[in-house]
Amino acid sequence: MKLTFPNKSYHGPIKLLGFAYLIFLLSCSEPLYDPSKSPEETVAGFLISPDFVVDVFGAEPYVTDPVDMIIDQKGRIYVVEMPDYPFKPEPGQGQGRIRQLFDDNQDGRIDRSTIFADHISEATSVHPWKDGLLVAAAPNISWMIDTDNDGTADSTEILFTGFFENNSEAQITNLKFMPDNWIYASNNGQGGEVKYSQDTSTKAISVAGGDFRFRLDQGKYELVSGPAQFGHAFNDRLHRFVTQNTLHMRHPVIPWKYLQRNPFIPVKNATLNISDHDLEMFQLTPPPYWRAERTRRRQQSYDEQGLGRMEYAEDHFTGASGSTFYGGHTFPPSYYGSIFMGDVAGNLIHRDLLVPLVGSPTYVAKRATPETTQEFLTSNDSWFRPVHFYVGPDGYLYVIDFYRQHIETPLSIPEDLKADMDFLEGSDRGRIYRIRPVKGSITSRFDDLSESTNDALIALLKHPNRWQRLQAQRLILERQATDLIAPLKQLFNSDQNELTRLHALFCLEGLGACDRDLINQAIQDPSPTLREQAILLAENLTDGQSLIIPLLNDPDIRVSFQACLSAGDFDGPPVKEGLKKMVLQHSQDAWFQLAILSSRNGSSFEFLADLTKHSSLFRAPDSLQAKFIHDMSYIIGLRQDPNELSEMQSFLSQPNPMDLTNQEMAFFGFLQGIKKSENKTALTPFLAKRLQELKAINSEKWKDFDW
């Protein structure tokens, strides 16, 4: 018996389900869960804009349990399969596979597949590299290659090892090569001591709390802000957006390296939920029986405890995954720049538009006008599990459907409800769909770019589809085609398209030809995208601050913000003066405040004293300014620099121009920092007396400070 509601326009909590009805369902002899559908039946049940057509691109038996796909520079199609999910296989017993797919009769549908690699434990992602495949399969990122051209990998080299491997929903995944020449991966913030096999001289790095990126051409690897669970996307400005189950769209506003350069900063995660519609989604399928019953139980418990909390079983994001930027060339123009993601529990595809916030370095994620009360695609098939997406060389959107009866891990479901659930039901099925405009032609024969001439690769950097540009850039990088330096510089100097110039710039960087003159030229480019990326490149110059400081006043807020972050890597009077102006200009922006505090100059006592002496800041109550004062004082107390401690105590003991609230926040933050350092700094008699006075006024706030 199928669990349905008579009116699916209802989007409230599952409390409407009566307990008696659930008991009736339990006693019914019919199955509690829907049976599977054929690929054609599933497609027939899709609701999508009439502008698009959905085709079956691949299905069982040629595809089963897919979680990722790529099309490489030779036009070869590879799919990663994860049949062991949700169970962790015994060591050496993994059944994961990488398949190569073929459309022999060229009708647009896969009719043959071969095994490139098998018996892989929990492989989740692949990416082309030097005629082989990079494979993310915790605890490793490996490079697999077919050396004898028989279609099967016969060489596997572990490049990185040490990633978290105890939960298949939270492992290293989502390998993506981006225009800055880095390959990014989602790590879900999981711990691990990661080593690079090609560099035995360095220690393992801890990846806890962040995501991961690496460059094989330079042997570099490091953490990036996030974290993403499954899915991350980059827009044309190379700003990154991450997905994690219920939080379907977040923006890591400040990169990891800036937050970590100041170990005393009180904030270690600068990732913002930017959705203006939060958990809301519009699904077509009713909740499965187990979820409805679990929700009823939880809600009853909340009500009995008087918590005032609401539990939802449907129409709220709970399994968001696969965030993918649409940078293709065949969808209608209004779709360019959209972020697509699936919700595997809601059996749907959601789309967000990224709208820059005026006067802020971040964004708001909004629904497109046609989708304010519906999703980009909804399905009436409860087995439809859109885990990931891929924008192909044709500009079409490929949907990777894991296709299972149940997608949740058993750990999250009560024991008695699991009795009627087979978590491997559907492990012999899997689909890939192609979404294309109505008038779009069907093909699955993709060009072989691997033998392209250098001139052809240069031409591809002008292509309107990001897939084409990235393939060309990666091939130039892999070949180390230094004979392209001159034509790349000519392209950078002459092309009118900012994205073409961006790829040309980073091709030159990858070839070791990005000198000061080129960076200076990029810093003066009319495109804010180029200026922002040039600032990052200028960080590597010994006199980079001379190029960066002028951009603190850039009219584009994100360029100015990046200049503020990058300036913190340098020292000297121009840097200090520039950061002070940033405080004055952006006193009402918490992101600029955090960027300033991440630097040594922007969190010193000298900087604090100078700000209070020469500006009108902090002379009236203001919550953002009070937090800035608190955090700077906290850093000074925690850093335990003897000179700063003495100067700070003197500053707090004497009359100063700050508002009384800000003076109190400075004292409070200073004491918190000292306490955190576990070094009991002696207070001056004045401050000791002041502390006792404040305790008498507000004992709760000051109770932890016992000097």
Q: Is the pLDDT of residue 7 over 90?
A: no
Q: Is the pLDDT of residue 374 over 70?
A: yes
pLDDT of residue 409: 87
Q: Is the pLDDT of residue 33 over 60?
A: yes
CA pair distance 230, 213, nearest whole angstrom: 15
Mapped onto helix, strand or coil, the DSSP state of residue 42 is helix
pLDDT of residue 157: 97
- The most confident of the ranges 312-316, 414-418, 458-462, 681-685 is 458-462
Q: Is the pLDDT of residue 371 over 80?
A: yes
Q: Return the structure tokens found at 577.
A: 């003066």
Quickly state the pLDDT bin for 28 (edges 50, 70, 90).
low
Residue 98 β-bridge partners: 80, 117
pLDDT of residue 416: 93
pLDDT of residue 29: 61
CA pair distance 563, 549, nearest whole angstrom: 7
Query: In the predicted model, what is the mean pLDDT of residues 241-247?
Result: 93
Residues near 382 by beta carbon (within 8 Å), at least 6 away in sequence: 33, 34, 285, 288, 347, 405
Separation of CA 593 from chain center: 23
CA pair distance 517, 280, nearest whole angstrom: 49
Q: Return the structure tokens found at 599.
A: 């630097």
Query: Which three-class secondary structure string do you get for 356-405?
Result: ECCCCCCEEEECCHHHCCCCCEEECCCCCCEEEEEECCCCCEEEEECCCC
In sequence order, what DSSP letters do the residues of 149-186 get, joined into one string? SSSS--EEEEEEE----S-GGGSSEEEEE-TTS-EEEE
pLDDT of residue 91: 84
CA pair distance 233, 83, nearest whole angstrom: 26
Q: Is the pLDDT of residue 4 over 50?
A: no
Query: In the predicted model, what is the mean pLDDT of residues 348-369?
Result: 96
Mapped onto helix, strand or coil, the DSSP state of residue 247 is strand
Query: In the predicted model, what is the mean pLDDT of residues 94-110?
Result: 95
Q: Are 329 and 436 in contact (CB under 8 A)?
A: no
Residue 132 β-bridge partners: 129
Query: In the predicted model, what is the mean pLDDT of residues 680-695?
Result: 91
Q: Is the pLDDT of residue 443 over 90?
A: no
- Reported as half-sphere exposure (CB side, CA atoms, 13 A), residue 379 has a value of 28
Of the listed ranges 156-160, 163-167, 537-541, the one predicted with least confidence: 163-167
- How many of the other CB atoms lie within 10 Å of CB of 521? 16
CA distances to 337, 370, 469 from 327, rounded to whole Å, are: 6, 20, 10
∠ CA 251-253-256, nearest 5°, is 110
Residue 219 sits at φ, ψ, to 5 deg, of 65, 30
pLDDT of residue 34: 95
Residue 629 sits at φ, ψ, to 5 deg, of -60, -45
Note the pLDDT tens digit of each residue in 570-626: 999 999 999 999 999 999 999 999 999 999 999 999 999 999 887 788 888 889 999
- Mean pLDDT over each residue of the chain, to the nearest integer: 92
Note the pLDDT tens digit of each residue in 377-402: 999 999 999 999 999 999 999 999 99
pLDDT of residue 13: 41
Q: Is the pLDDT of residue 104 over 70?
A: yes
pLDDT of residue 240: 98
Q: Where are the alpha helices (DSSP H) in 30-136?
A: 39-44
CA distances to 188, 233, 429 from 168, rounded to whole Å, are: 11, 21, 19
pTM listed for this prediction: 0.93
Q: Is the pLDDT of residue 10 over 50?
A: no
Note the pLDDT tens digit of each residue in 47-97: 999 999 999 999 999 999 999 999 999 999 999 999 999 998 888 888 999
pLDDT of residue 55: 96
- How many of the other CB atoms lie within 10 Å of CB of 324? 25
Q: Return the structure tokens found at 676.
A: 């955190």
CA pair distance 398, 432, nearest whole angstrom: 7
Q: Are 488 and 507 in contact (CB under 8 A)?
A: yes
